[in-house]
Amino acid sequence: MTEVQKTIEFVRLQRRHARDWRHWQRRLAAFGFAIAETKAGPMIARLPKGKVVCALPGDLLA
């Protein structure tokens, strides 16, 4: 499993544990991640510099 795949799985796990979108954002931030809005769409980014890791899978946007 690549680092990108591990990151996506981690983000999915945090989404399952979160009550709502805002809680999910806060959980991700606690672990050093964020959802960055870019011209190409939402991306998973590393904090604090906001370096984009990969695109946010569409199933997590709902």
- Using CA atoms, how far residue 50 sits from 1, 2, 16, 17, in Å, is 23, 20, 23, 23
- Residue 26: the pLDDT is 98
On whether residue 25 sits in a domain, the answer given is yes
On whether residue 61 sits in a domain, the answer given is no
Q: How confident is the model at residue 15 (pLDDT cuts 50, 70, 90)?
A: very high
Number of domains in the chain: 1
Q: Which helix (H) or strand (E) holds 34?
A: strand 33-38
Q: Which domain holds residue 17?
A: 3-56
What digits encode the pLDDT tens for the residues 18-38? 999 999 999 999 999 999 999
On whether residue 38 sits in a domain, the answer given is yes
On whether residue 32 sits in a domain, the answer given is yes
Please identify which residue in the block is written with the tokens 């946007």. 61
**Arithmetic mean of pLDDT, 4-26:** 97
For the chain, give the number of residues. 62
**Arithmetic mean of pLDDT, 32-50:** 96
Q: How confident is the model at residue 6 (pLDDT cuts 50, 70, 90)?
A: very high
On whether residue 62 sits in a domain, the answer given is no
- Residue 54: the pLDDT is 97
